[in-house]
Amino acid sequence: MSASRTGSRTVSTSHRRLRLVGIILIPAAIGLLASLVVALTGTTAEIVTRTALSAVPVLAGTALSLVIAAPVLLVALSRRRFEQGRTQASVDAAESHRRFLSRLDHEMKNPITAIRAVVANIDEPGMREELTSIRHQTARLSKLLDDLRKVSGLLVQKENLEHVDLEAMIDEARALAEVEATAGLVSFTVAFPRAPWPLPLVLADPDLLFIAITNVILNAVKYSRRGGRIEVRAHQSRGFAVLDIADTGIGIAEDETALVFEELARARNSEGIAGSGLGLALVKTIVEQHGGEVTLTSRLDEGTLVQLTLPLADQSTARRTS
């Protein structure tokens, strides 16, 4: 279906270009036809016009402007159509992706439910280890489906934008992460600016942003060793709040850092650590929907830095204070 739609769009674009060229050539064609008619009728009359010398530069300049304007206009129109086509292609790709995730969710949900129901009714002492493994794996699949459902929903969800205090949100996410972490596993340090002014509020959907920030912090906890360190730092730059979440965890190999934001991507050294591979994909989707950016840098066996950039709520204040 998508191939036929792409083909029809290409044909439509070609037709529009041909029409545009035809419109441009019509005056020349009419002029040529009129000249042929005059020549064939044997008319030898002449038309003599007089133009003031002062008007000649104006007429010449106007004619030259028209000659220059034609290709410039063509280039501008072609560029505009290219941008429109690229935007539409991006929209189509996002919609196709959303439909795929929705279909995958639908197709996998029923089998997982059936497996859980069957396992719940089995009570065989000699199969307890196997049944525990099945329950664990179906729970992982259910979590994966939940994450896929979140990604699918985010592709069409409209944000409920509010003025959000990042420091308060970090405190809440930190409290949640400390519950997840075993006692003494990692130490947290949070540093927000106080002078000459505190970090301004950001413009965001608080629920979605909390999901993104919590995912990054929980990842930092998950991949940290006992006694590790997590640092959260924030500053303001050119109308944006910049949030750094750094850890001294296991890190990611350099050749894998470019893939971490892809769905279901997991680093080689994360085997044996629970996870669906959708957390950072979710973070990227949320941050980019807010007009921000997320980047990741990492060194294997040294740690990882995830940087979130989010637009400030009051851009006039942002311009004065950046």
How far is 18 from 10, CA to CA, in rounded Å? 12
**DSSP H helices in 121-192:** 128-154, 166-180
In 3D, which of 291, 294, 165 has the Cα closest to residue 239?
Answer: 291
Computed on alpha carbons and rounded to an integer, the radius of gyration of the chain in Å comes to 31
% of the chain beyond a pLDDT of 70: 55
pLDDT at 190: 93
* Strand-by-strand arrangement of the 186-191 sheet: 186-191, 228-237, 240-247, 303-311, 293-299
pLDDT at 317 over 50: no
CB of 312 within 8 A of CB of 235? no
Q: Which of 78-87, 259-268, 291-300 has the largest mean confidence?
A: 291-300
Supply the pTM of this predicted model.
0.56
Q: Three-state SS for 291?
A: coil
Cα–chain-centroid distance for residue 143? 23
Check residue 186 and give its pLDDT: 84
144: pLDDT strictly greater than 70: no
Q: What is the pLDDT of residues 255-287, one digit of tens each?
A: 888 888 776 667 776 666 666 666 788 889 889
Q: What mean pLDDT comes out for the span 130-142?
A: 74
- In the predicted structure, residue 90 carries a pLDDT above the cut 60: no
